[in-house]
Structure 1
Amino acid sequence: MSEQVETRAFVMRLKPGNVAEYERRHDAIWPELADLLGTSGIHDYSIFLDEDTLQLFAVLKLRPGHTIAALPDHPVMRRWWDHMAPLMDVEPDNRPREWTLRRVFHLP
């Protein structure tokens, strides 16, 4: 029996006036960050914006055996968080403030 892909969803929030810059920075995502996310087991990652509330809704899929728990300690991830911190609500270490969402419905 093969392991199933895990899906995670969470919400983050932009600070007012930063939508265009947030999009610009993601359109130019660093190749080393994209590689890091992929090798950590993240794939099919999307972020959606609610323009009225500035909430960002993120959903990603994790491959079996993923290693995302190590991401907060990786220098590339830390630099990205520092790069993005002026644009969004963050924790004291510049990690984006996230609210995990629980799946309540799924239609495969």
Structure 2
Amino acid sequence: MIFFIHIIKALNLYRKKTDTDNLFWIHLDKKMPTGAGLGGGSSDAATALWVANQFSGCPATEKELQEWSSEIGSNIPFFFSHGTTCCTGRGEIVQDIPSLVPLDRK
């Protein structure tokens, strides 16, 4: 039950930032051990923000979601990045950087 805390915080933040009263039904099927240090809770929170935005007609940009997410967790913004990134600060400052190796190699 503890892993739902990240999702609930994310959805409450989304409601506050978008001034919506939408409610969401959540089903979480988690295979990663809680507290494993693999970013599971943070990725859950980022996904909850993104999905809430999708179901609400996308009133927020992905950049806004990324910025808002730092209010509830330092490494949540990372999960809105695409490709290779450099994270600084507490992990909340995310900068896209060129990949050292092409990601589409066969």
User: Would you call these one fold, judging by a TM-score over 0.5?
Assistant: no
TM normalised by structure 2 equals 0.30
TM normalised by structure 1 equals 0.30
Q: Name which structure has the greater RCO, CA cutoff 8 Å, separation 6+.
A: 1
More helix by share: 2
